[in-house]
Structure 1
Amino acid sequence: MRISYNKSNKPGISKTPVAQRTSVPQVSSELAILAFMAENEAPMQPLSIYGGLIHQQNITFSYRTVQNKMSELVEKNHVKRVKIDTDDGVIRELADGSGGRAYYLITDAGRERVQSEVF
């Protein structure tokens, strides 16, 4: 994780815009999201995915990009929208078109894409 110093010279979170933090070769945002989800294998909301990517990788895209890519990845069947049913202690896939906040979980197709494009 990159540590920067704020005006008082104390360690803190970088205030530099995300796109200016790195000159590392670009990986597609979709592939970065899928690789993170494959590594973590847990239902996550977009904000958690974004936070994890900031913490573990030098990403150059925004939270809004993560939100938009999640919809695209659902359409491609690389992730699925799920709900954590706390009453029954299970994870249930949400029906297409169901509104509201959802968690996302990588699918086998998403894992296969990571395997074929990353390794």
Structure 2
Amino acid sequence: MNIALSRVELQEIAKYHRLLLWSLLAAIAANLSYTSVEETFISIFVCLAASALQIFALYKLGKSLKISTTSMILFMISLFIPLIGLLTLLLMHDKAMKVMKAAGVKVGFMGADPSSV
């Protein structure tokens, strides 16, 4: 990616990248709760909350990475397909990592710290 990004844009990418990583963990927790909790209302609520967080994080990160609207719509639709949704989140994670590393930002396990950019 040969796009020069400002410091504010890099901070926004770092912020939403970290949110995307938290939504990925929330998705894993929601899937575990769906299989282990016998109370269906609680598991459905947890899954819906995790899905809403995933959609929000994917949209905000895609917007900050300047991904086309058509691609974003396809990515959001793919979130509702079980394994494809996970791969979509990992693809967006990879794109954000590449942009941050190309800009010279140190990226840790849970993304870059937006205040250190």
Structure with greater proportional strand content: 1
Give the greater-gyration-radius structure (CA): 1
> Could you state the TM-score of these two structures normalised by the residue count of structure 2?
0.31
> What TM-score do you get using the length of structure 1 for normalisation?
0.30
Which structure is richer in relative contact order (CA contacts within 8 A, separation 6 or more)? 2
Larger relative helix fraction: 2
